[in-house]
Chains A and B, each alone.
Chain A
Amino acid sequence: MRIAELNRQDEMIYPGHNACPGCGAALAVRYLTKTLGKNIALVLTASCWSIISGMPPLTALKCPILHCPFPSAGSVGSGVRRGLDARGLYDTTVVVLAGDGGTFDIGLQALSGAAQRNEDYIFVCYDNEAYMNTGMQTSSATPFGARTNTAPYPLYKEGEKKDIMQIMAAHTVPYAATATVAFPADLEEKLKIAQSIRGFRFIHILAPCPPGWGTESADTIEVSRLAVATGFFPLYEVRNGNEWRLTVPADMKSVSLSEYLGKQRRFKEMDDRRLKKLQHEINRDYERLLDKVAKFSAEV
């Protein structure tokens, strides 16, 4: 998709929002709201978007935004859906928007509860891999080896990034998919699929963060593209917890992990041992994913 092909009439985001230059989260929500259309209600938990959305009565979006406390997004979404239903507004798409903290960490219980109840809304996690709004502290979505302000040099994030998609798949939700800003057509398609299904839908969007990751503002799309090419962040979808489909294959033979990490200052002190460990983790997860995809395509 080219920028020229985007229909500016459908934009749901106003110019002059509060995001940093090159913000992946701002771009993600621009695509998100544009694709889902005017009849949406957005539940927004504490995250960068709490600031990006502007100070009331100003607003950055042309849809209603309901801010909610950090751990509550999944539950507030359940309430808004049911409240709108009570008013007969069945056609409004309810979207819950949370960062990785509000999804992987403090919001996990509410997310799990809502997913298990198969609540009828789309939960969108824009994942910038740390608590960026508070200034780059480690979350359970931070990748192994990255430096954060709660794991400053010579420390680094210990432990692997939590696999939220497997957790969602284990809840057998009707639809869960990964996406990132370098592939807007893929994101748009997944959002349209999600919008056409009822029940709990989960979209996990990798959203590069220039100040947090230590990348150039102009490199957001390139970094996002490399995350997919290296297999670091595969693009796929899973229906009903077991129908796995890869939507954009990785290209691990032509793009090395160091190329991806080299663009980010948070991985600056990554030594060979850590690089190998991260590479091993990526290979292992990607193979597992391909196995699931192959198993499913063999069944169909």
Chain B
Amino acid sequence: MAFQMISGSQAAATAVQRVGVDLVAAYPITPQTAIVETLADFSAKGELTGEFVSVESEYAALACCNGAAAAGARVFTATASHGLAYMHEMIHWCSGARLPIVMVNVNRTIGAPWCLDPDQGDSLSQRDTGWLQLYCANAQEVFDTVIQAFVIAEELLLPCMVVFDGFYISHTYEAVDVADEDEVRKLVGPPVFAPQVIPGQPGNMHGLSTGETQLKLVKDRHQEMLKLPRLFNEINRAFEKQFGRSYNIVETQIPVGAKRAIVAVGATAETVKWALPVLAETGLIQLRLFRPFPTAEIRQVIEENEITELVVVDRNCSVGMGGIFAQELRSALYELQRPPLVRSLILAGGVDLTEKMLLEILQSTGNEENFALRWGDEF
């Protein structure tokens, strides 16, 4: 156990090195580049167990991971924004093929126009691809979550995306408790999933299927993904034992008696944590999971704390519908006997969340025209 001053990107790369992978295939894109470069550094120093391949595109990076994972290898790649969008077909394919690939996506706005700020629309637009999506709020969470992602992906045979905000997390240096290889490998162990390509053995992997077969396979994936919450808690019990820290699917900081809460995902959750002392009788609900959506866990938090009002901070916008986390929450909470009021703050483009915004939203009377929906440029 040793603390290092490293960025979120370095935390991700270090976690991959600690876990030990057979192959890293990657292509550079801002703000993910430091992950690729750090892994290349590990490789140059002979500290990466597997191969590091510089490929010709993000699509190729994931396709290369697909091939290697199908041959039985543990693989990793990282991307952001346009790179993730460019991978889209392979993202679907890897999930359908049940390959336990771990990929980091560093949130960045997708153009046009070009923009480097950390809108979450890149990863959220991969919602329906069948990937697990875990969101991190600081560099320590990044390090820990990348390690856990390998266990989760290989256990469920589903690919897992670890997501964090560009610059706010990828480029910010923090003190991170960086476990050494032996400690991490004690927790993760060598890959145990079965290879799909077995020389000498006939097999027609992922060839033409019928709609009926697809239905069964999709149902399988859905049911398998819903096993995540239990698995997540098991892994975190083991993680706690080994490293003295653990996580919940839904993290909360709700003062006694508070009936309203800010819902935040990723770096904005850290901002809210700092603002909580000045926000009267308001709590924080931090979502660490987007797929599977933590419906049961969030309902439990709402019911136990008798929350009546949520303000959802969305660093994204589904044009024509609104903030994506707000939509998902409305849908997840609809069946509650007393669903809370879900208000939305849209910070699309990845603009900063400020204390001023939160204060103004929380001080509103309820009669304002924009009570339910606020945009980040109105403050």
**Interface residues, chain A, CB within 8 Å of chain B?**
38-41, 43, 50-51, 53-69, 71-72, 74-84, 86-87, 89, 92, 109-110, 112-113, 116-117
Q: B residues bordering A, Cβ < 8 Å?
A: 22-23, 25, 50-51, 53, 55-57, 59-61, 63-73, 75, 89-90, 93, 195-210
List B contacts of A57 (CB < 8 A).
204
Question: Which B residues are CB-close (under 8 A) to A43?
Answer: 67
- Cβ–Cβ contact B207 & A80, under 8 A: no
Q: A72 and B206: CB pair below 8 A?
A: no
Q: Which residue of B lies closest to A78 (CB)?
A: B64
Bound: A67/B99 CA distance, A: 13
Q: A79-B66, A79-B67 are in contact. Are A69 and B207 (CB under 8 A)?
A: no
- Would B199 and A53 count as touching, CB distance under 8 A? no
Q: Is the CB of B53 within 8 A of A66?
A: no
- Considering residues B64, B70, B202, which has the most beta carbons from chain A within 10 angstroms of its beta carbon? B64
Which chain B residues lie closer than 8 Å to A69 at the CB level?
63, 89-90, 93
CB distance from A122 to the nearest CB of B (A): 14
Contact call A56/B209, Cβ cutoff below 8 A: yes
Tell me the bound Cα distance from A39 to B197 in angstroms: 11
Q: Give the 3 A-B residue pairs with the shortest CB-CB distance, closest first.
A: A79-B67, A83-B71, A113-B56
Q: What's the minimum C-beta distance from A110 to chain B, rounded to whole angstroms? A: 6
Say whether, besides A66-B196, A86-B23, A72 and B57 are in contact (CB < 8 Å).
no
* Chain B: CB-nearest residue to A42: B197
Contact of A53 with B207 in the complex, beta carbons under 8 Å: yes
In Å, the complex CA distance between A76 and B90 comes to 10
Q: Are B72 and A66 in contact (CB under 8 A)?
A: no
B64 touches A79 (CB 8 A): yes
Q: Decide yes or no: A55 and B209 within 8 Å by CB, A66-B67, A66-B196, A69-B89 being known contacts.
A: yes
Taking CB atoms, residues of chain A closer than 8 Å to B202 are 59, 61-64
Most buried by B among A50, A59, A65, A84: A84
Q: What residues of B have a CB within 8 angstroms of the CB of A60 in the complex?
A: 204
The reply to whether A58 and B204 contact each other, CB–CB distance below 8 Å, is yes
Nearest B residue to A18 by beta-carbon distance?
Answer: B208
**What are 21 pairs between A and B in contact, CB < 8 Å?**
A38-B200, A50-B208, A51-B208, A54-B204, A66-B70, A66-B196, A67-B205, A67-B206, A69-B63, A69-B89, A72-B63, A76-B67, A80-B70, A82-B22, A83-B197, A84-B72, A87-B71, A87-B195, A89-B71, A110-B63, A113-B60
Which residues from chain B contact A89 at a C-beta distance below 8 Å? 71, 199
**With A50-B208, A67-B207, A110-B63 known to touch, is A83 a contact of B73 (CB < 8 Å)?**
yes
Minimum distance in angstroms from B68 CB to a CB of chain A: 4
Kindly provide the distance from the CB of B90 to the nearest chain A CB, expressed in whole angstroms.
6
Task: Let me know if A110 and B204 touch, CB within 8 A.
Answer: no
A75 touching B207, Cβ below 8 Å: no
Contact (A78, B67) CB under 8 Å given A86-B73, A117-B53: yes
Contacts of B68 in A (CB 8 A): 79-80, 82-83, 86
Shortest Cβ distance from residue A133 to the other chain B in the assembled complex, whole angstroms: 11
With a cutoff of 8 Å between Cβ atoms, the chain A residues found around residue B205 in the complex are: 56, 64-67
Q: Across the interface, which residues of A come within 8 angstroms of B56, CB to CB?
A: 109-110, 112-113, 116
Of chain A, the residue at the smallest CB distance from B89 is: A69
A109 vs chain B, min Cβ distance (A)? 6
Kindly provide the distance from the CB of B139 to the nearest chain A CB, expressed in whole angstroms. Answer: 29
Chain B min CB distance to A204 (Å): 21
Would you give the shortest CB distance from A251 to chain B, in whole angstroms? 41
